[in-house]
Amino acid sequence: MNLGGRVTDEVEHYRKRGELRGLVKTVRTRPPERLRWRTAMSTVTEIAGLLQGYNRMRIEEPVRELVLDLDDIILRRETTLDARRNGVDLDRGEILPSHTMWDLKRTAFLTGVDINNLSRYIDLPDDYSKPIDTAAVVLVGRAFSNMYWSRSQRLRLRIVKEKSSSPLMRHEQYILDRADYDSDLARRWAALSKHMVQGSI
């Protein structure tokens, strides 16, 4: 493989050939950065998430050590969350902040989101002093934010007016009101997710 190529292309090359050692070597020897290297790491952890036993360990442990050694705290955090999305848990208390159920309840109240929506996708403890799965909360919160933002934009695109616009019809105003409501929900869920990762090491 041409070492001068993109890190994402090199990882894809080893993925197709099933060469696990080449996957790990590629991300370890390339300089970490927030675009292609992060994408390559996401591909590597996605592959690891599909494996079991020794083969999984051959990827997961070296990658975890690599992530822990990153100087860029944002890249470290986002790479960890990417891995978790792929079913690989690289964080054992060293990267993401620890929160209790009380912390989550308080943050949900302050940001104005319904915590019951989270409980549909995450196992939340009944005891307020128990720790929560921070990564899961952040990922689900971001997913909600993206969903509401996308829906808001789709609703706005349905209202097409001429430059010399006439007054909005009642159903058009309703659509715009709903778009504003979804935009607000998107901001609220984004705020909750942001707060949950504040203090990442």
Residue 111 has pLDDT above 70, yes or no: yes
Question: Would you state the pLDDT for residue 125?
Answer: 94
Residue 199 has pLDDT above 80, yes or no: no
Task: Give first-to-last CA distance, the chain, whole Å.
Answer: 35
**pLDDT tens for each residue of 152-187:** 999 988 886 544 467 777 888 888 899 999 999 999
- Tokens 């054992």 correspond to 92
Question: Would you state the pLDDT for residue 35?
Answer: 93
**pTM for the predicted model, two decimal places:** 0.87
Please tell me the distance from the alpha carbon of residue 73 to that of residue 7, in angstroms, as a whole number: 21
Mean pLDDT along residues 110-127:
94
Mean pLDDT along residues 65-71:
94
Mean pLDDT along residues 44-66:
92
CB 15 within 8 A of CB 23: yes
Residue 146 has pLDDT above 50, yes or no: yes
Q: Work out the mean pLDDT of the chain and round it to a whole number.
A: 90
Mean pLDDT along residues 64-68:
94
- Binned at pLDDT 50, 70 and 90, residue 59 comes out as very high
